[in-house]
């Protein structure tokens, strides 16, 4: 029933920042854990960051830890990925995914399991 739409991608130089947004439809967003994944040409989709349904727990891939911050605003049905200190290797299509987890768990979505809904993705390009 719920759909997701990403926005905020663009072309930036190394060291710059971008803020990605994941907007959900419907009134059940608060029951879902949300995660950001990314995929570069010729590579598998990889986990970037996740936040629990109530925002109480966050997790990050080692490659982005300390540079990226995930957050959510359930009142606005949005999840945000703030990306600072961007590197050329961050270049990818970034996808927002949601997994049913009303109890606040994140273990499954971190591993790409139980993601019921995906957005279409937004392109992030970082020049070195």
Give pLDDT tens digits for 34-86: 999 999 999 999 999 999 999 999 999 999 999 999 999 999 999 999 999 99
Q: Region 81-100: what's the mean pLDDT?
A: 97
The per-residue pLDDT for 26 is 80
Q: How many whole angstroms separate alpha carbon 48 and alpha carbon 50? A: 7
| pLDDT for 33 beyond 80 | yes
| pLDDT for 116 beyond 90 | no
Side-chain half-sphere exposure of 39, counting CA atoms within 13 A: 10
């Amino acid at each position: 029933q719920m759909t997701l739409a990403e926005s905020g991608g663009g072309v930036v130089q190394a060291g710059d920042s971008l803020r990605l947004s994941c907007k959900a439809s419907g009134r059940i967003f608060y029951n879902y854990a949300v995660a950001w994944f990314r995929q570069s040409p010729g590579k598998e989709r990889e986990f970037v960051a996740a936040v629990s349904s109530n925002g109480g727990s966050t997790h990050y891939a080692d490659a982005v830890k300390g540079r990226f911050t995930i957050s959510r605003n359930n009142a606005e049905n949005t999840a945000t990925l703030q990306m600072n200190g961007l590197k050329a290797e961050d270049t990818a299509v970034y996808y927002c995914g949601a997994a049913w987890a009303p109890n606040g768990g994140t273990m499954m979505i971190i591993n790409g399991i139980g993601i019921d809904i995906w957005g279409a993705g937004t392109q992030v390009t970082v020049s070195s």
